[in-house]
Structure formats: structure tokens, C-alpha cells
Amino acid sequence: MTTWRGVRLREALRLYVITDRALARGRPDIEIAREAIAGGATALQLRWKAGPLSEALQVGHALRALCREAGVLFVVNDRVDLALALEADGVHVGVSDLPVPETRKLVGESMVVGFSPETLEQALAAEAAGADYLGVGPVYPTTTKPDAGPAVGLEHLAQIAGAVGIPVVGIGGITAVNAAAVIRAGAVGVAVISAVVGAEDVREAARQLREVVDAALAERGR
């Protein structure tokens, strides 16, 4: 069984950076990842929405090696097959992807499974089916993911975080300005795309976010 469970997983979810080439200002994924990790990112997700899978494998192997060396959680979005091929630490699925029970059957117990619920009922069902953590959002309005839907707000996040026993990460429109409120609502960390990937100084943007998250968790008694 993987060691990415319990306290280690909660710590790894503090600052969860998701790749997005459209926001990277032409910079390679590996460069963005390296700078984000240097700034304090604790998890990295490969989000591959377009382009050949052969290229995804090449990029993914480089990111996987970087994360392994840095002790950072490496997750693949949506694609269970890609996650398995890359020997990723985890895979993250949503309501329109392969369901959590089938995902767990494919990856076994050696891989972390994350899930993005839209309702409390989905969150509870995912936990019962073996999800290791939940990504809840969009907490705030966001244009990064056009299919993300309207903002769910802090109250919805708090409702889910209070009802499940697995870690919850807030995602959607999160910046260093509002990240503390997400933690106070019950999240163990924040997942970001544009706030880090789209920043002019990726390392500094990650550093600022990590500082805010750490302070909010300390204030909460974590």
C-alpha cells in the first residue's frame, strides 16, 4: 500500500498546483513545475486536455521524476490509463470521468484516488467507494475551467469538509488573498492553476500561497 495516506497525504495537499499550458506564457511544464515546487508546492497534477498522448507520456515522465526527487505528490487528471502508464502517485477524476469504484479497481490500493464532487451526496458516495481526498469547487468564480460551473462558495465547501472523514482541498478562483478563508472553512489545502501557473514569477506566487495556507492551518490548530 502506498505511503501517501494519513498525515502524509494531508500534508501533501497543502499547495496543489495543476498544470495548464494555456496559462503558462509559453513556458515548458517542467519549468513551471520546478519553480512551483521551489516555491513550496506540495502536490502537482498533470492536466492534459489536448495534444498527443505520446507527448503527454514524455512530459509526464519528466514531471514524475521531478516530483519523486522532491518528495512531491504527483497526480494525473482524468486519465486513469495515463496515470498507470506513468506510475503516478495518484489519479483525480470527476463526475463525468470513470467512477471512483471502477477507478479504484483499476489502480488498486497503491495509488491515491481524488474526486471532485458536485454535491454532498456524491462526496459521501466517493468516500465510501474508496476516494482518498476530495477537490471541492469552484469555491470562487473562475474562468480557468469553462466547464467548472458556478462558484459553490465557502459554505458548500464547509458542509462537505464537515461531513466526510477524508481530506478536502478547495479549488477555483483561489489566490493568496482568499486562500486563508478556504482553510478556515475546513480544507486542508488549496488547488490552484492560474494563481501559480499564470504568474510572472511562479516561485514567488507559490511561496506566497504556501505561506498563507501554512499560517491559516496553524491558526486552525492543524
The catalytic site residues sit at 47, 116, 145
Answer yes or no: is 142 a known binding residue. yes
| 193 marked ligand binding residue | yes
46 is in an annotated binding site: yes
Q: Which residue has the cell 504556501?
A: 210
**47 assigned to a ligand binding site:** yes
- Helix, strand, coil distribution of the chain in percent, nearest 5: 50, 15, 35
CA dihedral of residues 215, 209, 63, 149 (deg, nearest 10): 110
Is 174 labeled as ligand-binding? no
Half-sphere exposure of 11 (CA within 13 A, CB side): 8
Instruction: Name the phi and psi angles at 131, rounded to 5.
Output: -65, 145
The answer on whether 97 is annotated among ligand-binding residues is: yes
Residue 105 marked as a ligand binder:
no
Contact call for residues 154 and 120 (beta carbons, < 8 A): no
How far is the C-alpha of 103 from the C-alpha of 108, rounded, in Å?
8
Tell me how crowded residue 116 is: count the other CB atoms within 10 A of its CB: 23
Establish whether 4 is an annotated binding residue.
Answer: no
Consult the annotation and say whether 15 binds a ligand: no
Annotated binding-site residues read 45-49, 77-78, 97, 116, 142-145, 173, 193-194
Annotated binding-site residues for Mg(2+) read 78, 97
